[in-house]
Homo-oligomer: A and B are copies of this chain.
Amino acid sequence: MDIDVLLILDILGTVAFAISGVLAAMDKKLDLFGVIIIAFVTAIGGGTLRDFLIGDLPVAWIRDISYTAIIILTVVITIPFNRDIVNLRKTLFLFDSLGIGFFTIVGVQKGIMTGLHPGICVVLGTVSACFGGVIRDILLNNIPIIFRKEIYASACIAGGSLYLVSSSFLSLPVSEVLSISVVVLIRIGAVRYKWQLPNIYRK
């Protein structure tokens, strides 16, 4: 995968996560500053926890102001159009899924570079992709939605595992495209066909 494609996915993912933060924050009628913060933590929360856990400090967004700039720009553009954006739900969902796929693979790659156990690499990728949404929900005083009905952690685990296996015999770009596609397809399938985790409660 060309470095530019990775860059585009990183930006798309950051923008999609920031937008999901704006919409959630405006739903709770936060003020401008609150909306910016929620957009920010949604977009950078997962990567921040990932960098904390492996000790790659200062964390990514502290070293590179582009993330902050992209997020603030996204917030400024999103706020006036927040009602219209709801109509772009399908586009947003696609961006969001691409972002999740991308962040999963980056997390797995960072784990491999740090020399971690393969299983931990997959956990790290999943944490990178999911934690931003978790902290968004905690700050807004909701039980994280991922704990209730989202299947996307499963998508991250599947995509991350596939990357781990496939990257050892395929070229990295092919392995990256393949793994991100699996994350996106599982998410789409989960929504369209209402896939759910097995019920663990007695009827």
Residues of A with Cβ closer than 8 Å to B?
Answer: 25-26, 28-35, 37-38, 48, 52-55, 57-59, 61-65, 68-69, 79, 114, 116-117, 119-120, 123-124, 134, 138-144, 146-149, 151, 153-154, 196-198, 200-201
Contacts and interface: CB of A to CB of B under 8 A. Distances in A.
A148 B32 CA distance: 9
Contact of A35 (B32, B134, B151, B200): B200
7 contacts: A30-B147, A32-B198, A33-B151, A34-B147, A69-B119, A138-B139, A139-B143
Given A138-B139, A143-B141, A120 B197 contact: no
B68 A123 contact: yes
Contacts of A123: 68
Nearest to A29: B201
Nearest to A117: B65
Contact of A149 (B31, B79, B116, B140): B31
A144 B138 CA distance: 10
Given A141-B142, A147-B38, A54 B57 contact: yes
Oligomer copy total:
3
A116 B58 CA distance: 10
B140 A138 contact: no
Contacts of A57: 52-55, 57
Given A30-B148, A54-B62, A64-B117, 19 more contacts: A28-B143, A31-B147, A31-B148, A31-B197, A31-B200, A32-B197, A32-B200, A33-B151, A34-B144, A34-B148, A35-B200, A37-B147, A48-B53, A53-B57, A57-B57, A65-B117, A68-B119, A138-B138, A139-B144
Contacts of A134: 139
Nearest to A152: B33
B146 A33 contact: yes
Nearest to A197: B32
B54 A58 contact: yes
